[in-house]
Amino acid sequence: MLNLRKKILVAIDGSPQSDKAAEEAVRLAAGNQSPFKSRIYALLVLPNAPTSTYTDFVPAAPMTETKKWDELRERIFYVIEKCATEHEIPLEMIVEYGDPADKIINLAKREEIDVIVIGSSGKGFVQRRLKGSVSHAVASNAACSVFIVRG
């Protein structure tokens, strides 16, 4: 079997499921024994910034421009940074705003990702029907392979 460098996209949100997905992404990248290192793209998708209304005099700043952002970013990306550093895997951390499923699929197309690693939300049937499942939407619409990590 020919082992070539892989581009791996992992969806990060700070949850235990995304931490497991981060560990699996690093395990996949570290398992590549070819001289070409795999690369991991860690994507955090934040909800759209709230739109201001006529009663707002000053619109709220995006999350990435608040004082708490550095601490929050460090906590969310901690597992993937630690694991990637330990295994000497190149890591690119990306933060975007919008719908998580759309952003994951679009980044995968744009960067020609080989595999997407995403945690399963563990939502029950009712919540999944009402809110939808990001992992299901990604698995149904991605052009590449999707590895869903169960919690």
The reported pTM is 0.81
**What pLDDT digit, counting tens, does each position of 36-82 carry?**
789 999 999 988 755 555 555 555 656 566 678 788 888 999 999 99
Split at pLDDT 50, 70, 90, the class of 150 is confident
**Burial group, residue 108, by CB count within 10 angstroms (0-12, 13-18, 19+):** buried
Q: How does residue 105 score in pLDDT terms, banded at 50, 70 and 90?
A: very high
Domains within the chain, CATH numbers bracketed? 7-149 (3.40.50.620)
Nearest of 76, 40, 47 to residue 62 by alpha carbon? 47
